[in-house]
Amino acid sequence: MTQRVTPAELHEQFSDRLDLHWVTGKAEAAKRAIEPVGFHSRPSLVGYLNLIHPTRIQIIGREEFDWLEGLDARTRWETVARIMDDRPAAIIVANGLEIADDLRKLAEETETPLLTSSQNDWELVNFLEYQVSRRLAQRETLHGVFMEIFTIGVLITGESGTGKSELALELLTRGHRLIADDAPEFTQLTPDIVEGSCPPVLKECLEVRGLGILNIRRMFGDAAIKASKYLRLIIHLHLPGEDQHEIDRLQGNDSQRQVLDLKIPQINLPVLAGRNMAVIAEAAVRDFMLRMKGFDAAAEFVERHGRLLADKQ
């Protein structure tokens, strides 16, 4: 489903926070939808008055107001008409500035949603740009258990029967936190950040085969639940196959998985009888955190052996 948001929805949700008031175009505001254009596209969705790269929501602050006031009557009318011809989703006059008669008249004639606010223009731009971008961000639902392990957002994936929920339950008993089970939703907030959260219907729940649905908050307390987290690592559980002997004993079995526009590091762990998967998962996350800081245990091991061989020669 295509993500969209209207000025009417923004007014309903943030009118108190931003002190937004309708001047004209309230009925039209529910029809002028704002749709995603991508993080690398121009123009942006919310911004100051711009005739070259018009934004979907145009903010008129003090400087824009003074610039319009400095134009002669004819040029001003033509400029405001150009703004309306671009069919912005809404125009917001900030800083409690007075709505000029020509702006109001042209907004009424073109049914352009026009609002006023006592808030500073920079606050309106920053707040609305963040909220609109978040509402319109790309989304993807993945199968797995999303957890916070040692402050890192980790998605545990694997085929049915590999023990994802059992591993998650063991990690919960060791003090880690559940974000979402079965169908976590991931949203791309910026070009390099993917955030995961839980659908409302699945909040606080974990399904464990043989036990059914468990309410984690009731069982482990509020500290066992996390509302959202940035996705940094994927741990993929798999049953060993014939190629098990091909695993690199030094580097392990690492790869990457595409999530939205990002490639997320993935550690592939074979599920074998007698292995403590919770301890191994914790070790994998700790090693990943060390690698993020620039330390590579395998590289150091190879270098150490290289020095030893060189000394013997």
Are the beta carbons of 195 and 180 closer than 8 angstroms? no
Position of tokens 């957002």?
153
How far, in Å, CA of 141 to CA of 183, rounded?
6
Q: What is the CA radius of gyration of the chain?
A: 27
Find residue 228's DSSP bridge partners: 197
The DSSP-derived string for 175-212 is T-EEEEEE--EEEEEETTEEEEE--GGGTTEEEETTTE
Catalytic positions, written as ranges: 143, 164, 182, 249
Which one-letter amino acid corresponds to residue 305? H
CA distances from 95 to 63, 65, 187 (A): 11, 10, 33
